[in-house]
Chains A and B, each alone.
Chain A
């Protein structure tokens, strides 16, 4: 428990540091976002409107940096992340609220599936060395070595098209209204298949490899020999002795990869124009949309931290050696 509290304190500190950096970076970048916004509206705005924009975006030249910083924290705690430039005047929080479920559903589910599939295959490959599974390894390794961008484009070129089952972009049929209706969910699933498949292909071999290698290492441990000597069934030895122990590094790897769902989704969403967080970031960078960028970074930072915390908890639950008494 003490260990967990220590970790928690560490993460709170890290979150503070990350948010502070998040506050400063846009202010250090040369170029003035308001100017670019004004340019966009081509002199349709009055000076008053421009001034209020500066205040609104937290770029008020008259306020001291300290009072800006305090305001920034107040806003963060209220979930107020400012207004987006690109989707003016939609609040950043609303944009994130809209796109986050897409990212979590697509990348979250595929990351989980990839972990489950890869780990199970890795268990079998490591336990029965020299079986067909071992022959499969070079194939999956090859597939995962293809740069993701390329793989995505290849999948679109080969599999998607006007009259293909797989749509090449978007999260759902343009005409549909998002909601819990059968046709919308069906369409969303149809749109997610191709990106999901490419993510799976590029990530599953990592899980297979690490799990296989851990299984091989664990299989030569004394306690595995003892488990055999005890006359336990092959399955029991494989699952609750070998795999159970080999899983430890993979589980923390998995928790960490959950943190990268949001951050790592950028390429996928760009390639498939998928309406998630990564695509937001892509748009924000293109339009110098600092509030949106800040918002996305905030989400990424927090998700990485939460994932780290999850990894700690998972390890604590799975490995009694990390548990401290009392």
Chain B
């Protein structure tokens, strides 16, 4: 097992305060290892973006982190809790250690500044000792890596195509060579061909630069192809976590199974397409017990009363995966922490 780089522990995020608070992320424990691509999938509204914003402490109001810690392991030096950083420390941490490509990267670029300005100001903020020409060279090099030629440096965002803007954002996320890159549906707005092209490029870059990716999407088939491990989120919780191949071959949670069935796989044998009946849970009135039980074809009594704990399933001998389900054989032998 590789060393962890980012450990999210018992993470909770609420929107609002007090009794009216919506619990968008609950008790999420997730570890990103050095050099891996960890996929995070789930239906719309399951709290994926909220988790990403929470981990980087960028939650827009009324979002509040109501518990948990995010332990970051720098390549050399002691691990620290991102939640405990002061404002100045947090500014240093951001982008240099963990960068993020937001959902809708289309609007992530400031329309009134040139691409080069926006690339360079982040270098300037974090590495002020670098000479201006070195900054430009760095920005240029990074853009070249993501397939934007140097003469587009001085373009304004509106002069680029959507795909180019997305590449620029990815290039910008990598410009300080961070350890962790969080990508929240970075390619959703693009056509499938472009999507795969960018992702393939990304995986290649990861091998070269050695960063880890937390890749968020609702497109599970994409993750199966590109990620090492996959975590499935439902109603603010992680319900299953496994290596991509394992999850694809043999998903343990009925929700993962449903998700897998609702997307056609690009490679591999053909599967029958089927959606998940029902609709995602309303965060204001979460069902008791397992939040998936009203939609679960295999639900039984226990599901509606007790919240299943995420843990290594008892029956099969998998050391590397965990699931939160009461179905026989999936009940954890030990709770993963």
Write the residues of chain A forming the contact surface with B, with a CB cutoff of 8 angstroms: 220-223, 225-233, 236, 240-241, 244-245, 248, 318-321, 325
Contact = CB atoms under 8 A, between A and B. Distances in A.
A interface secondary structure, majority? helix
A248 B112 CA distance: 10
Nearest to A218: B110
B162 to A, nearest CB: 14
Most buried by B among A223, A225, A231: A231
B125 A229 contact: no
Interface stretch (B86-94, B197-205, B253-261, B326-334): B86-94
B58 interface: yes
A227 B99 CA distance: 11
Contact of B95 (A230, A233, A236, A240): A230
A321 B160 CA distance: 12
A217 B303 CA distance: 44
Given A221-B107, A223-B107, A321-B158, A244 B112 contact: yes
Given A223-B108, A320-B112, A320-B158, 6 more contacts: A222-B104, A225-B58, A227-B110, A231-B94, A232-B121, A325-B159
Contacts of A232: 91, 121-122, 125
Interface in B103-126: 104, 107-114, 121-122, 125-126
B95 to A, nearest CB: 5
Contacts of A220: 60
B96 A231 contact: yes
A131 B113 CA distance: 29
25 contacts: A222-B108, A223-B107, A223-B109, A225-B60, A226-B109, A229-B56, A229-B94, A229-B95, A229-B99, A229-B102, A230-B95, A230-B121, A230-B122, A230-B125, A231-B96, A232-B91, A233-B91, A240-B121, A241-B110, A244-B112, A244-B113, A319-B112, A320-B112, A321-B156, A321-B158
B121 A236 contact: yes
7 smallest beta-carbon distances between A and B, as pairs? A231-B94, A222-B107, A320-B156, A223-B110, A231-B91, A230-B122, A226-B108
B159 to A, nearest CB: 8
Interface of B: 56, 58, 60, 90-96, 99-100, 102, 104, 107-114, 121-122, 125-126, 156, 158-159, 169, 172
Contact of A226 (B92, B96, B102, B112): B102
Given A245-B112, A320-B111, A320-B156, A231 B102 contact: no
Given A231-B92, A320-B111, A321-B111, A222 B58 contact: no
A232 to B, nearest CB: 5
Given A222-B104, A226-B108, A236 B94 contact: no
A236 B121 CA distance: 10
Contacts of B91: 231-233
Nearest to A323: B156
